[in-house]
Structure formats: C-alpha cells, structure tokens
Structure 1
Amino acid sequence: MAVLGFQLVTTLVAASVLSKIVTYFSFTRFLYDGLMRFAVPTDDQLLSAIGNHKTRNKTKKRRPEANNSGLNGDADIFYFPRTMTIPLHPTSISHIEAVPLPLYSSCQWLLDFTVCSLCVFFITEAAHSPFMPWYQVPRMANHSATATSLSNSTVSLPAMISFSTRINLSIVWLSLTVWFTLRTLLSMTGIYFRRSNPETARSDSRSSSSASGHSSSSEKDASTAEWLLVLCAGFIFLVITGFVLALDGRFFDFNLHEAYGNLTVGPPTATAAPLITWGAFQSMIALTCALIGAVYVYPGLKFGKIYLDTVNNDSTPWGKRMLLHLTFISPLFPIFLWVDPVIRHLVDFLSACQHNPLVAQQPLLLIALNLVCECLGQYLGTTRLFACLFVVILRCLTTRCNLQTYLNSAKDKLNRFNREPGRTSNREVQRLVASIFYCMNLVALQYIAPTILLLAMVCLYKTVAGLSWFPVSSLTTDMSGFTAADTHPPTATDPNFGRWISNDPSTNSDSSWLVTVSQARLAFSQFTEVFAVRAMAVSRGVFGFLVWWCLTALQSVSLLGLAYHRFASI
C-alpha cells in the first residue's frame, strides 16, 4: 500500500473479488431466495381439476413415438372450457432457478459490479472523512511560497511522486456502473424493437393457436406500438428538457450558466471562448435526458402496474402499504430541493415561525426549525444528497415486495383468463402461468436498474462536485476564494511561465535533482488544480441537473404507468 497507494490497493482487491468470489457467490440470492411463485400445473392436475369436461384433439392422430421419447406432442393436448377453476400451488424459488431464465447474466453482473463499486466508493469516502486523524482539507497554496519551502527542505521520493491522493479511482468505478446500467436499460428497451424477445414470447405462443394471418398482423401492430411509444416518450422528454433548461437561474437552481462559463482552457477572462457553444452544450444535455427518459418508459409502466396491484390487494398489511405509498412519492422531495422559489419560500416561512411567541417557548421545536433552516440554506447540497439517498433506500426496501407482487400476478392473470368465453387447452394454461416466472429477470432489472443509475449518479455528483456528507465546509467552499490570477493555467507566452517550471540547472548548479523534480511536480500540481476547480464547477451544474432529471423522469413515468393501468387499461 505504501508503494501503490490506498485507492489502487482498494481497486485491486475489489477487482479480485469481482473476478473470483462472485463465481461461487452472487448477490442475486438476496434478491430471489425466499420468493414464492405459482408452479406450472401439470396435465394430471389439470385433468383432476376439470373432471369430465375435457375433449381430445381430433384433428391429428396419436403418435406413440412422441410419448416414448419424452416429448409433448399434439396427442397430449386436450381442451376444456375457460370457465373451469384451476388451482395453483405456490412454491419457493431460489436464485439457482433463475439462472436458465433470460437476462440472468445481465442482472447478476449489474448487481455484483454495483456492490463492488459502492464498496470502493464508501471505503474511499471513509478514508477521506474529516473524522479521520489523517484528514487534511485540500487547499491551493501560493506557488512561490511553496517553491521556496521546497527548495529549503528535504523532499522524500515517495511523497514526491505519489499521485494516488489526487486521483479518485472511485469515480472510475461509478462511471462504469453508470455505463453498465445504461447499457442494460438500452438492451431491455431494444427488446421492444425486436420480435424475438422474452416479453413477446408469451404472445407468440398464445397466438400460435389462432389464424396465421391474424396472428402476424396483430404481432406487427403490437411491436410497432411498442417502439413508437419509446420514440414518442423520448421526443416529449426532449421538449420538456428544453423548457427546463430555459428556466435555469429563474426557477431552478442548477447553475448551468456557471458550468458553461468554466468550459474554457485559457485564463478565465471575459473574452475567453468556451470549448463549445451554448446551444451545443444545451443540446448535449437535452439528448442525454431524452435518452434517459426513453429507457425509463417501460420500467415506469411496470412499476405503476405493480404498485397498483400491491396497494389494491386486501391482504397487504397497512405498514407495507404506507411504505409503498412513501416509495412512490419519495422522488418529489428531492425534486423540489432544486426548485428555487419553493426553497426560498420555505426558508422564509420557517424563519418567520422562529419568531412566533408560541415557538419561542418550546426550545426543542426552535432548535429543530433552526436546524431545518440551516439544512435548506447553508447545507443545501448535503440535504439534496441525503434526500436522493432516501429515495434509493426506499426503493431497495420494496424491491422484494414488488417482485413478489409480480409473481403473484400469475393467479390474477389466470382468473381474468377464466372469465373469457370459449375453450382453451392445457398447453395454453401452462404457458400463461410459466410466462410470469419466465420474465422475472426482466421485471427485476426494470425495477433495480433505475435505482442503481440514480445511486451511481448521486455518488458521482457528490464526488465530482466537491460536496460533503456532513455539515462541514466542502472542497468547493475552500477553493472559492482563489482569484483568477492564482488559478489560470500558464501558457508559453506568459511572462510568469518560468516560475511554473523548474529553474535552469546551468544557473542553479547547486540545486539537487530532487528539488528540480519537486518543482516540476509543483508546476503539474498547480496546473491540475486549475482544471480541478473548473471541473468541479462544471460537474456541479451538469451532474446536479442529471440527478434531478433521473428523479423527475422516474416520477413522471411512474405516474404515467399508474394512470394508464388505473384508467386506460382494460
């Protein structure tokens, strides 16, 4: 650790765990083990349930070789009225049963990698916590004074060449988590653009019993409607993002104008040209938000359906029902923390309440109001972080409950199927029950992928924006007092450029090579400090907006799914 650095050792350990231990242990067992599903009814169970109402398939002859080979041929198909009551028997499942199902590898990899990346992040955060004895607030010192102190002191080689404290490797892990999550969401959304996918396998199997012409036309119409919904949602979210960006600074507190002003390379003067135009900057953010909103459509629709089924179930305890209600509306709390008029009026109202004579007589209430005002004022960034983490924790607590509700939907689906007129076959009933468990990994990913994306975005927002988990002075506060003359990067035409590099050895022959390399390291350190300050300002605006948009898109599509399944679905 003394040679490689603390963060690199933590990264190597996490990579070893991810490549070795997850082969024998996966965190999917905490997601699936103990859940209950309805077993697929066998032919004998169906025969005993329908009694003498069955009829054999008379269109094809019986083929004994099909039964001898263990295959289920057409001779095993029998028909009965749909109104027959078919009992379903619950059985416990484990993560081993989910391995052969589609999308299990994506679910396993996303969960395991997210856990490893979060471990690296929180270990790094704990190591750099202000409560640690070795903690030092990073600050930018005067370069001339530092150069003088370096020339008059002895510099050790390990401290001179160690860059591990300047590079936060947890950012790499969190960035990879965001990439893998977006890739998973895009792959699941791509299912609706193709015909051969797990979700449409059920409709393909059911439609095989109908006419071929009607089946192909209905499948084509359904597939077209699915990808048209994704494209329409992406366009609508693109338009909404444009309106939100136009209101920044007047209604929302994203500081995107300040972030755009720091997209420069030269000295931060009024004539410094940004790297890209303001329109291109807004377009990049809008396209990213439209992509996030488009991939959130079907996860939001599924979440609204599961939420509605859970709260409408009479057997759901009131405590669990309240937790589900809170989980559904929880994104609204951090969303309003970026709305400037709401925060301003709330702080004014709480400040007025502190001067109320009734409140002044209750010290505990007065302290609580003062604490809330401080959290919404000076420590608003920390309050936003904890509000977003509150949403993530609630969604994690209700994950297994929502998966159990989805698995229980097999019985509700069969009951709706039994209310339809006509006759059905044993194969159709078995496919209907098995399709719920067959798509379990898809539904699990549709619920946990937005949660993981939100969590990774929040952790990235905290790290790259220089925020703090605790009500202490953040890194951006310590660096906000530096002037442009102290922080702009040097250029070759700068008359002071010689002070940023080491002196000429011919004129300073008495200086050792350690001091020369130390001065070069100082020049590199001061050069990177400029980009650290600017990147912090850019990241605070961009990632703050992306975190807010993830919450807004998630809440919007959840409300859309609730409204659709409550009023529009039949």
Structure 2
Amino acid sequence: MALLGAQLVITLVMISVIQKLGPHFSFARWLLCSTGLVRYLYPTDAELRHLASIPRGKKGPKQSNGKAETFHVPRSLDVSLETAKVTRLDVIHLRYYSEYQWLLDFTVYAVIVYVVTEVYQTWFPLKDEVNLSMMWCGLVLLFSIKLLLSLTVQYFKGEESVGERSTCIVMGFTYLLISMMVLIVDENTLELGLEDAYNSFNKSASVFLSKQGLNSSGPASKIVLKFFIALWCGILGALFTFPGLRIAKMHWDLLKYFRERKLIQIMLNVSFALPFVLVIFWIKPVARTYITVRIFSGMTQPLLTTHAFETLRIVAIVLTVFVKLVLMPWYLQAYLDMAYNRTQEQKKEAGRITNIEFQKKIAAVFYYLCVVTLQYITPIIMCLILSFMYKTLGEFSWGALFKEPVNECPVVNPPKTIDPFETSSRDSIAQSAAEFHATFENLKSVFSAEVFRGIFGFSTWWCCFVYFATTSVGLVYQTYFSTI
C-alpha cells in the first residue's frame, strides 16, 4: 500500500513550476505593476527653491559635510506633484517586497495544488493517503502569521511608536475578553463546534492512551484548552489591529473619491460588509435554523440540507476573498493618493517646513506600499486557507449544494490467516511499513473529522469576526474624526 500516489506527482510538478516559472512570472508583481497603479513623485530641491523664490546657496546643492542642503519653505506652498506609473524597478527595492511576493505567489501555487487535488479526489477518493494539499495550506498559514507578527513587532521597536504599541496591547486584551465571552456561549446559539471537537478528541485520546497502557481520562481539561484558545484569539486580534485600521482608512478614502458615483459606493460598502455576513453564518438561530430547519409556505422541505449549508459557508468565504482581491488595486491606489492628500492638507497650514521633511512626507507613502499591501492581503489569505482546511479536514463536499452526499459503508476485510512459516520470512521493511500504518490509523482515530471541524471552523469564524470588527472600528474612527 502506497502512502503517497498521484498527490506526490502533483506536488513535484508544482515545485518544478515554481522553479521554472517563478523567476519569469509573478502574480504578486503583476498586481502591483500591471493594474494601473500611479505613484506621486516628490518635488526636487530645485523645484522647491523655484516655487518658494529661494536663491541657491553658495555651497551648491551639497554642503561641505556631505549632507543634503536644508532650507525652509512655506507649508502653504502651491506644489503640483508629478505622477508616474508603478513599475517593476520601482517596487523591487521597497521594504517587505520579497516577503509580499513570496507569500502571494506561494498562496497561488498552494491554491492550484488544492484545486487539482480536490478534482482528483472527486474521481479517485483518497484512501489511507496523506492529503498533501493540507501541507501546502499549512505552510501558507504559517507564512501569513509570521509576516503579521513581523509587521506588528515593528511597532514595538521604535521609540516614537508609543501610541501604536498601546493600541496593539489594548486591542489584544480586548479581543482576549471577547473571545472568553464567545467561548462560554451555548452551541445552540453560536455553533463553533468546539464542544463536539473536545468530546471527540477526549474520548479518542483516552482510548488511544489506554491501548498504550496508560490510564488517563483525557489529555487536558476543558478550561485549560479554552484558556489557551482565548489567549491565541487575543494574539490574533492584536495582529489584525493595524491591518484592519489601514483597510478602513483606504475604504473611507475610496468613498470620498467616488462620492458622485453612488453605484460604486454601494459596491464598496457591500464588499466591506461581506465579512459580517460570514460571521452571521455561524449564528445558529439566524442562519442554520432559518435555512436548514424552517419550512416556508408553499415548500415541502427546507431551503438547504445540513451538508449543503456547510458548503454554502465555505463558498461564501471564497467569493468574499475573490471580491476583496478584485478590489485590491482600488484600495492600493487610495493609499497612494495619500501623498496628494497630504500636500492639499498642508496647504491649509501656517508656518514653514524643511525641504527634507516635505520630501519625506511624500516619499514615505510609496516606500510603505508593500507593507500596506501585506496588511490588506494577509488577513483574507488566512480566511481563505482556513476555509479550505475546514472543508477538507472536516470531510465536507463541494457538490453538497447540488446533491446530498452518500455515506459509504465501510468495507470490512475478513481477517487473514497467518502462516507461521510465512511470518518467519517477512521482510523487516514490510513490518516497519505495517507498524507505521498502524500508528497512522491510531492518530487518525484521535484526530477525527469532528476535531478538525471544531478547530478550523472556530478559527475561520474568528478570523472573519476579527477582520470585520477591526475594520468597523477603524471606519467609525475615520467617521468620527472627519466630522469634528
């Protein structure tokens, strides 16, 4: 019996594609350089001198100590910023560009592996095989968490980012408190599946430990597990804080830019509210009971079956991610337009500013483009990957929306009669393979589909909840300060 079959071929082919195609084509680079993004160029010293009517100094553009010459210009200086299209040579030197390119490109490859594996599994169901697409998804999830963590750590390194550190800490403890409140909600109201997951895991683990000669009622108590789950939820909430605030700021700027085009505003607001719809899907009285239990007048059965409802939730997440990805260039352009908005706001101020500070204010916007792109794309990648893992490890079906899956009866093989002469001639490699297969089956019995449904179902819901909650807080913040 082979543990790896066609899946290994799919993985090896995709690795070869990464090596051959990766240096020549990059979806991440295409999103930044081929979607019409425009950046603003800061004015040179000569342009600022000309507009401010400042004569050139005797020492020329460079001072004797090697530093750039500094002079003051009025803040209300009427400066028209030149624009230029974002090109590959512009972004390749930006901070976090390599991390952004690797994350998004690897996510695309992982999604392709997942889709090909799901199509293959439709005709040839996997039996006693490791689903390698889950390994790809797990790597994408680890990369996403690592990048969010590295971006958040930057706020704790600088001496001037006291407010950012305080915001992260406060939001982390806030989401810790919210997660504790969520974990005590009854499953009949908020169906996260953690109770069934814990009962299944505790029962299977107890049987597994008893077979090993160990007396145990379970690996851990429910309170301890929920405490660590709440702790992880608080950390994830802190990691999502500034990405959510950044997305809210870009969304607010887009609404102001399209104030005359109501149809686009409605589309943007619908896109913004889609994560809230995903959160609603896990509230049982509102979603599952209404769709899978209630029978409307003129109908003989509910709208969807239980399996179809689970598939509907996963499909809704995929569609939401697709919509967010399509609107991504608009949001990035709204961020790049901050350079223009800063100059317009500065014209209303009194006083003077140095040429270096003025140029840094404009250049910093484009310098942090990849950081903002990561803050936009990483949360939705995590939601997408978690939904894939929830579907596959939870043993759901994509076709449940169209037909009810058939539960196949397990085939029980008759026990083999072991010949003592044949036993003595067995190869040691075959015995090792048999032992490995037995261990693998025991682990499969411990980590059942119910366990994975609880783990990844809750993780998917929490990511969608934190994403929507943080962006909503940021939008309220922008609305409040724009009206005072």
Instruction: Say whether 1:223 aligns with 2:225.
Output: no
Cα 1:527–1:418, aligned 2, differ >3 Å: closer, same or farther?
Answer: closer
Instruction: Say whether 1:73 aligns with 2:3.
Output: no
SS of equivalent to 2:399:
coil
Unaligned runs of 5+ residues in structure 1 are 139-164, 196-219, 356-365, 487-498
Cα 1:189–1:277, aligned 2, differ >3 Å: closer, same or farther?
Answer: same
SS of equivalent to 1:340:
coil
Cα 1:43–1:526, aligned 2, differ >3 Å: closer, same or farther?
Answer: closer
Equivalent-residue separation in structure 1 for 2:436 and 2:74 (angstroms): 84
Q: How does 1:143-154 map to 2 (within 5 A)?
A: none
Equivalent-residue separation in structure 2 for 1:55 and 1:245 (angstroms): 68
SS of equivalent to 1:411:
helix
SS of equivalent to 1:354:
coil
Which residue in 1 is equivalent to 2:198? 260
- Residue type of the partner of 2:40? F
Instruction: Say whether 1:386 aligns with 2:381.
Output: no
Which residue in 2 is equivalent to 1:15? 15
Instruction: Say whether 1:242 aligns with 2:205.
Output: no
Which residue in 2 is equivalent to 1:321? 265
Deviation at 1:128, TM superposition (A): 0.8
Cα 1:523–1:411, aligned 2, differ >3 Å: closer, same or farther?
Answer: closer
Equivalent-residue separation in structure 2 for 1:528 and 1:236 (angstroms): 41
Equivalent-residue separation in structure 1 for 2:432 and 2:237 (angstroms): 49
Cα 1:136–1:448, aligned 2, differ >3 Å: closer, same or farther?
Answer: closer
Q: Aligned to 2:283, which of 339, 344, 356? A: 339
> What is the CA deviation profile of residues 100-120 of structure 1, one whole-angstrom value per residue up to 9, with x for unaligned ones?
111111111111111111111
Q: Normalising to structure 1: TM-score of the pair?
A: 0.74
Cα 1:519–1:44, aligned 2, differ >3 Å: closer, same or farther?
Answer: closer
Equivalent-residue separation in structure 1 for 2:140 and 2:308 (angstroms): 28
Equivalent-residue separation in structure 1 for 2:477 and 2:252 (angstroms): 11
Deviation at 1:92, TM superposition (A): 0.7
Q: Aligned to 2:228, which of 284, 291, 296? A: 284
Which residue in 1 is equivalent to 2:59? 63
Which residue in 2 is equivalent to 1:304? 248
Instruction: Say whether 1:122 aligns with 2:118.
Output: no
Cα 1:92–1:339, aligned 2, differ >3 Å: closer, same or farther?
Answer: same
Instruction: Say whether 1:100 aligns with 2:93.
Output: yes
SS of equivalent to 1:38:
strand
SS of equivalent to 1:415:
helix
Cα 1:3–1:179, aligned 2, differ >3 Å: closer, same or farther?
Answer: closer
- Residue type of the partner of 2:151? M
> What is the CA deviation profile of residues 489-526 of structure 1, one whole-angstrom value per residue up to 9, with x for unaligned ones?
xxxxxxxxxx98x75542x6599969x96998599469
- Residue type of the partner of 2:279? I
- Equivalent pair of 1:335/1:551 in contact (CA under 8 Å): yes
> What is the CA deviation profile of residues 212-232 of structure 1, one whole-angstrom value per residue up to 9, with x for unaligned ones?
xxxxxxxx4x52221121111
- Equivalent pair of 2:40/2:83 in contact (CA under 8 Å): yes
- Equivalent pair of 2:74/2:353 in contact (CA under 8 Å): yes
- Residue type of the partner of 1:255? G
Cα 1:350–1:259, aligned 2, differ >3 Å: closer, same or farther?
Answer: closer
- Residue type of the partner of 2:178? I
SS of equivalent to 2:39:
strand
Which residue in 1 is equivalent to 2:304? 374
Deviation at 1:91, TM superposition (A): 1.2
Equivalent-residue separation in structure 1 for 2:467 and 2:340 (angstroms): 28
Deviation at 1:340, TM superposition (A): 1.0
- Residue type of the partner of 2:192? F
Which protein is bigger by CA-based radius of gyration?
A: 1
Equivalent-residue separation in structure 2 for 1:331 and 1:314 (angstroms): 22
- Equivalent pair of 2:72/2:352 in contact (CA under 8 Å): yes
Which residue in 2 is equivalent to 1:556? 469
Which residue in 2 is equivalent to 1:170? 133
Deviation at 1:13, TM superposition (A): 1.9
Which residue in 1 is equivalent to 2:297? 353
Q: Normalising to structure 2: TM-score of the pair?
A: 0.87
Cα 1:353–1:84, aligned 2, differ >3 Å: closer, same or farther?
Answer: farther
- Residue type of the partner of 1:184? L
- Equivalent pair of 2:307/2:396 in contact (CA under 8 Å): no
Which residue in 2 is equivalent to 1:26? 26
Equivalent-residue separation in structure 2 for 1:444 and 1:520 (angstroms): 47
Instruction: Say whether 1:456 aligns with 2:451.
Output: no
- Residue type of the partner of 2:42? V
- Equivalent pair of 1:301/1:558 in contact (CA under 8 Å): yes
Cα 1:4–1:279, aligned 2, differ >3 Å: closer, same or farther?
Answer: closer
Equivalent-residue separation in structure 1 for 2:74 and 2:86 (angstroms): 31
Equivalent-residue separation in structure 2 for 1:4 and 1:273 (angstroms): 35
Equivalent-residue separation in structure 2 for 1:523 and 1:65 (angstroms): 73
Equivalent-residue separation in structure 2 for 1:509 and 1:524 (angstroms): 20
Cα 1:522–1:268, aligned 2, differ >3 Å: closer, same or farther?
Answer: closer
Deviation at 1:248, TM superposition (A): 3.7
- Equivalent pair of 2:196/2:450 in contact (CA under 8 Å): yes
- Residue type of the partner of 1:396? L
- Equivalent pair of 1:55/1:80 in contact (CA under 8 Å): no
Q: How does 1:499-510 map to 2 (within 5 A)?
A: 504-506=418-420, 509=422
Which residue in 2 is equivalent to 1:546? 459
- Equivalent pair of 2:308/2:404 in contact (CA under 8 Å): no
Which residue in 2 is equivalent to 1:360? none
SS of equivalent to 2:108:
helix
Cα 1:81–1:522, aligned 2, differ >3 Å: closer, same or farther?
Answer: closer
Deviation at 1:478, TM superposition (A): 4.6
Unaligned runs of 5+ residues in structure 2 are none
- Equivalent pair of 1:234/1:293 in contact (CA under 8 Å): yes
Equivalent-residue separation in structure 1 for 2:185 and 2:145 (angstroms): 27
Deviation at 1:4, TM superposition (A): 6.4
Deviation at 1:345, TM superposition (A): 5.2
- Residue type of the partner of 2:68? G
Equivalent-residue separation in structure 2 for 1:167 and 1:55 (angstroms): 73
Equivalent-residue separation in structure 2 for 1:137 and 1:5 (angstroms): 9
Equivalent-residue separation in structure 1 for 2:274 and 2:267 (angstroms): 10
- Equivalent pair of 1:38/1:90 in contact (CA under 8 Å): yes
Deviation at 1:428, TM superposition (A): 2.2
Superposition RMSD in Å: 3.4
Equivalent-residue separation in structure 1 for 2:209 and 2:355 (angstroms): 77
SS of equivalent to 1:37:
strand
Equivalent-residue separation in structure 1 for 2:74 and 2:235 (angstroms): 46
- Residue type of the partner of 2:100? C
Equivalent-residue separation in structure 2 for 1:168 and 1:470 (angstroms): 19
> What is the CA deviation profile of residues 440-473 of structure 1, one whole-angstrom value per residue up to 9, with x for unaligned ones?
0110000001011111111111111111111155
- Residue type of the partner of 1:265? A
Which residue in 1 is equivalent to 2:357? 428
Which residue in 2 is equivalent to 1:142? none
SS of equivalent to 2:207:
coil
Equivalent-residue separation in structure 1 for 2:270 and 2:365 (angstroms): 27
SS of equivalent to 1:100:
coil
Which residue in 2 is equivalent to 1:209? none
Which residue in 2 is equivalent to 1:192? 155
Equivalent-residue separation in structure 1 for 2:125 and 2:446 (angstroms): 18
Instruction: Say whether 1:399 aligns with 2:328.
Output: yes
Which residue in 2 is equivalent to 1:46? 48
Cα 1:527–1:38, aligned 2, differ >3 Å: closer, same or farther?
Answer: closer
- Equivalent pair of 2:74/2:352 in contact (CA under 8 Å): yes
- Equivalent pair of 1:262/1:268 in contact (CA under 8 Å): no
* More off after superposition, 324-333 vs 268-277: 268-277
> What is the CA deviation profile of residues 169-191 of structure 1, one whole-angstrom value per residue up to 9, with x for unaligned ones?
11111001000000000000011
